[in-house]
Amino acid sequence: MDAPAIARVLRASFDEYRGLYTDRAFAVTTPSADSIAQRMEEGPTWVAQHGELILGTISAIARDDGLYLRGMAVCPLWRGQKVGWAMLEQVEAFARRAGTRHLYLSTTPFLSRAIRLYKNYGFLQSDEGPHEVLGTPLFTMVKHVD
């Protein structure tokens, strides 16, 4: 998989929100290609493609309490085209095959489009932390895998 291309997708997807993150939180949200390559060693990474063009990405890491989703992004020009939904379906199918009972993620309250997608897909807001990352507010959302 192409870590530099995934890094570009993350940067393009979150750039418009840069001013709402602290500098350190934005750096964590838009990791370098080297960090992406390391993530790929920690758990699966999926991409949505149109030909050779990567439209979106999501990665996951297995934890005792479920599958933690991270680094989900869809290129701005492809938002609203069901790219995010399709990636979530792939992750959920993977979780089912692995016997995972919960999917969870952390998001910022200002990513309203992403939050709407997660809610429509069946994620519910949880009181569990973390509640911030490097000075930027967060909340957790959980989905039970049927």
pLDDT digits (tens, 9 = 90+) for 68-89: 999 999 999 889 889 999 999 9
- Check: CB of residue 116 under 8 Å from CB of residue 130: no
> Residue 1: what pLDDT?
65
pTM comes to 0.92
Q: Report residues of the chain scoring pLDDT below 70.
A: 1
Helix (H, G, I), strand (E, B) or coil at 46: strand
Q: What is the end-to-end Cα distance of the chain in Å, rounded?
A: 29
What is the number of domains present in the chain? 1
CATH of the domain at 72: 3.40.630.30
Q: By residue range, what is the domain housing residue 120?
A: 3-144
Under 8 Å between Cβ of 79 and 67:
no
Is the peptide bond between 130 and the residue preceding it cis, with omega within 30 degrees of 0? Answer: yes
In the numeric block, which tokens belong to residue 44? 């699966």
DSSP string, 49-77: EETTEEEEEEEEEEETTEEEEEEEEE-GG
CB atoms within 10 A of CB 59: 21
Structural contact between residues 45 and 87, judged by C-beta atoms closer than 8 angstroms: no
At residue 106, φ and ψ (nearest 5 deg) are: -115, 140
H or E stretch including 103? Answer: strand 102-107
**pLDDT score recorded for residue 31:** 95
Alpha carbon distance 124, 96 (integer Å) = 19
Q: Which amino acid would we find at residue 138?
A: L
* Among 77, 98, 113, CA closest to 145: 98
